[in-house]
Amino acid sequence: EIVVPGSVIQAIEGIDIGPDGMIYGTSIHAQAVYRIDPDTGFVTVAVPSPYGESDDVAVGPKGTPVEGLLAWTAQTTGEIRIQRPGGMPEVLMGDVPRVNPIAFNKDGRLFTAQSGAGENALWELDVIGNEPPRLVAKNKGRLNGFGFGPDGRLYAPHFGTNELFAIDVDTGVFDVIAEGVGTTAATKADANGDVWNVDYMTGDLWVTD
């Protein structure tokens, strides 16, 4: 007798929307990357356990050489993993303890950061495989769920504080654009340039124009 049926989704950590319109969600606990149809609610497993161990996910944007490519951070293992359309999971970069957020910009450049490990480094990774990982910045604070804005800057929470960063990924310059917006944990910028963030402690949603 089933007393409580198992959930289709276990503990979503990070989400992104792919060029196919699907929502991709990550789960450290289930060690899986889920594919969720926002219209029907139908859920499938895009990357199964154990390869799908993931804290955050990014999907290559439409019209770029990485369109539809999945990239995710295996925080416990300390790896950035990818899966090309129709392919199998690969390790893009290893030996990156506490790797956490990950995001593509509109041109398909991929960025990730270590949060709470040593120098709290921000990296750019070459998915095509022509260049080694590039260190963008280090010792600037812990970053968590981040995303690019329409101005091309990377918007990120200064995790564990009440500050938001706007980061120039070419120069490594970090600007504090807001303070007093709760205990920041995840940040996204919309098409208008408004910056949204969630308070990790209270669940409040903030917007900075």
Q: Where are the alpha helices (DSSP H) in the chain?
A: none
pTM (2 d.p.): 0.93
Report phi then psi at 206, rounded to 5.
Answer: -115, 150
pLDDT the model gives residue 46? 95
Q: Are 127 and 92 in contact (CB under 8 A)?
A: yes
Per-residue pLDDT, 72: 97
In this predicted structure, what is the pLDDT of residue 167?
A: 97
Q: How far apart are CA 39 and CA 46, in angstroms?
A: 17
Residue 114: beta bridge partners? 99
Res. 117: pLDDT tops 90: no
- Residues 52-72 have a mean pLDDT of 96
Instruction: Tell me the average pLDDT across 124-149.
Output: 93
Averaged pLDDT, 153-172: 95
How high does pLDDT run on average in the chain? 94
71 or 29, which is more confident: 71
Residue 24 half-sphere exposure toward CB, CA atoms < 13 A: 27
pLDDT of 48 > 90? The answer is yes
What's the average model confidence in pLDDT over 18-23? 95
What percent of the chain has a predicted confidence (pLDDT) above 70? 100
Closest CA to 208 of 174, 176, 181: 181
Mean of pLDDT values over 84-109: 95
Summarize the chain as % helix, strand, coil (round to 5). Answer: 0, 45, 55
Question: CB 119: neighbour CB atoms within 10 A?
Answer: 11
pLDDT at residue 179, as a whole number: 96
Q: What is the pLDDT of residue 7?
A: 82
pLDDT in the model for residue 10: 86
Q: Measure the CA–CA gap between 139 and 112, rounded to whole angstroms.
A: 14
CB atoms within 10 A of CB 107: 12
